[in-house]
Amino acid sequence: MSTKDLAGSSIEVDGDGYLVDHKVWNREIATAIAKEEGIDPLTDRHLEVIEFMRKEYEEKGTAPSIRRLNKLNVVPTKELYTLFPGGPAKKAAKIAGLGKPHGCI
Amino acid sequence: MKKLLILGAGTAGTMMLNKLEATLDRDDWNITIVDQFETHYYQPGFLFIPFGIYNKRDVIKPKSDFFPPGVDVIFSKIEMIDAEKNQVKLDGGKILPYDILIIATGTKINPGETEGLKEDGWHKNIFDFYTIEGATALQQHLKYWEGGKMVLNIVEMPIKCPVAPLEFVFLADWWFTEQGIRDKVQIEFVTPLPGAFTKPKASKVFGDFLNKKGISLTPDFNVARVDWEHNKLVSWEEASVDYDLLISIPTNMGDELIGRSGLGDELNFVPTNKFTLQSDAHENIFVLGDATNLPSSKAGSVAHFQADILMDNIVSFIDDRPLRGQFDGHANCYIESGFGKGILIDFNYDTEPLPGKFPLPGVGPFSLLEETRMNHYGKMMFRWMYWNLLLKGAELPIESNMLMAGKRA
């Protein structure tokens, strides 16, 4: 556990840079994390996906999977990989201020 | 008379049936199990079929051999679980009411989920080994295969027996060597995971094994479609991997029944309390084995450890007491590594596979995260234990919850 300067405030993050508390998240923090992940600019389409993920996380306690985002017509899988190249499940969760997705066993 | 109903007579359901029969007061409880198939498959044996070590007859027995007397057995398809009415409707309309329901309907491969996988290449130069049909078709193909590039691909996680794909390529390396064609075969392991396995220490150990055996590893590959006309795997990010022979581990999903009944997540796995095994949505529905959405391995050993916990919790539930049994995610897997050797791993939700001795701390006879002949004998001996002890619900000399004793952190 450590803190990190994101969008002008000191934010607690875990060893992999994921926010410890998803409630401190705001759009500026999202933009700052996205930039570090090589996503610049963070578009409305990105935010649409991220905000849906946050909503589900708050309701269910877990972030939706890629398969679920596709099935609920939030974003087709192909587009998701274009929006968050190099690992959308992890990247989108990180930018959304959610914990690291549980790797399956 | 109260009614306890089990759906699915595979490894999990059969073990649970035997435990319940031995425990519940039979003056109060009627126990019924439903399954559509009459044959029990020893699924860990499927791995050995492609290489001719086992044949079909080595992995099948009638399910009825494992049912205790005095329980009701129904062979039928199931149309629907109506959880609000506490009843199950069978194909043909027969209604089975229940007081307690145990869902043990497992998981199976769904090649149809990936574009191009189940087209003309299926069982020609694309095979699975998670079904008896796939494993035997692959045996026939390998018998006459003269070499080329063999690619093993895991489409997405989670999968049943997450070590089986590694075992497959380890055994393939050995088998092609035995056939004298290893120099004509390239083997590539293509996985959506960031390494050879999920947990860091084991991933490193298995990665070194792949390397040592001349098997190349392509991690972080999320397959979008199979271009079967050009023998290519294509990822969502348009990377591609060529193959001559593709061994696919398709998307694993729970039974369609779960989806139809509105009890599943998007993979038809039932949301389940990871400690008590009670379903999240209905307090009189419990879920066992591969049918759950638990973040534990989908494997017979896991179902076995869960069954002990579930037995305690069913008794508590009947007695109207809090559920005290807490499953810790324990899994125990013998991994064939080829050339008559094996590796053993033992882990749970919180503790990744570690080196050490098992089951007796400091003694063994098995070695954790190490390759030994004894581990291979453990794997081969397991089939006898499975048929004669495990399915019948007998106690095995392994604790349900994982022990740290004997492990080196």
Query: So what's the ipTM on this one?
Result: 0.85
Q: What is the DSSP string of B205-239?
A: HHHHHHHHTTEEEE-S--EEEEETTTTEEEETTS-
Residue with tokens 């503790």: B351
B27 & B120 share domain: no
Q: What is the pLDDT of residues B145-176, one digit of tens each?
A: 999 999 999 999 999 999 999 999 999 999 99
**B270 C-beta neighbours (distance < 10 Å), count:** 26
Q: How confident is the model at residue B293 (pLDDT cuts 50, 70, 90)?
A: very high
Inform me whether the C-beta atom of residue A55 falls under 8 Å from chain B C-beta atoms: no
Is A93 known to be catalytic?
A: no
B259 & B246 share domain: no
B116 & B94 share domain: no
Percent of chain B with pLDDT over 70: 100
Q: What is the pLDDT of residues B248-273, one digit of tens each?
A: 999 999 999 999 999 999 999 999 99
CA pseudo-torsion sign B394, B400, B406, B409:
positive
As a whole number, the mean pLDDT across chain B is 96
Whole-number pLDDT of residue A4: 84
Find out whether B218 and B190 touch, Cβ atoms under 8 Å: yes
Q: Give the structural domain span for B100.
A: 2-106+255-318
Which residue in the set B156, B220, B266 is minimally distant from A71, CB to CB?
A: B266
Query: In the predicted model, what is the mean pLDDT of residues B85-100?
Result: 98
Q: What is the pLDDT of residues B194-214, one digit of tens each?
A: 999 988 889 999 999 999 999
Q: What is the helix (H) or strand (E) element at residue B170, kind and residue range?
A: helix B164-178
Task: Give the type of residue at B65.
Answer: D
B237 & B205 share domain: yes
Q: Coil, helix or strand for B191?
A: coil
d(CA B268, CA B259): 5
Q: What is the pLDDT of residues A4-36, one digit of tens each?
A: 888 888 889 988 889 999 999 999 999 999 999
User: What is the count of structural domains for chain B?
Assistant: 3
Residue A1 confidence (pLDDT) above 70: no
Find out whether B243 and B147 touch, Cβ atoms under 8 Å: no
CA B72 to chain A, closest CA, distance in angstroms equals 35
Query: In the predicted model, what is the mean pLDDT of residues B133-149?
Result: 98
Looking at the domain assignment, is residue B406 inside a domain?
Answer: no
Looking at the domain assignment, is residue B268 inside a domain?
Answer: yes
- Please classify residue B238 by burial: count the beta carbons closer than 10 Å to its beta carbon, then call 0-12 exposed, 13-18 middle and 19+ buried: exposed
Please list the residues that pair with B242 across neighbouring strands.
B232
Residue with tokens 């007859």: B57
Query: In the predicted model, what is the mean pLDDT of residues A93-103?
Result: 85
Looking at the domain assignment, is residue B355 inside a domain?
Answer: yes
Which residue in the set A65, A71, A81 is minimally distant from B236, CB to CB?
A: A81
Q: How confident is the model at residue A50 (pLDDT cuts 50, 70, 90)?
A: very high
CA B133 to chain A, closest CA, distance in angstroms equals 26
CA A78 to chain B, closest CA, distance in angstroms equals 6
- The pTM for the full model equals 0.94
Tell me which of B192, B225, B251 is where a domain ends. Answer: B251
Task: Write the CB contacts of B395 (distance below 8 Å, at least 6 apart in sequence).
Answer: none
Inform me whether the C-beta atom of residue A71 falls under 8 Å from chain B C-beta atoms: yes
Find out whether B329 and B296 touch, Cβ atoms under 8 Å: yes
Whole-number pLDDT of residue B3: 98
CATH value at residue B85: 3.50.50.60
Residue A105 confidence (pLDDT) above 70: no
Which residue in the set A77, A103, A105 is minimally distant from B236, CB to CB?
A: A77
| Given the residues A5, A8, A59, A104, the one annotated as active site | A104
B86 & B8 share domain: yes
Determine how β-strand B60-62 pairs with β-strand B148-154: unpaired
Residue B43 confidence (pLDDT) above 70: yes
Looking at the domain assignment, is residue B284 inside a domain?
Answer: yes
Looking at the domain assignment, is residue B396 inside a domain?
Answer: no
Whole-number pLDDT of residue B224: 96
Q: How confident is the model at residue A101 (pLDDT cuts 50, 70, 90)?
A: confident
B183 & B292 share domain: no
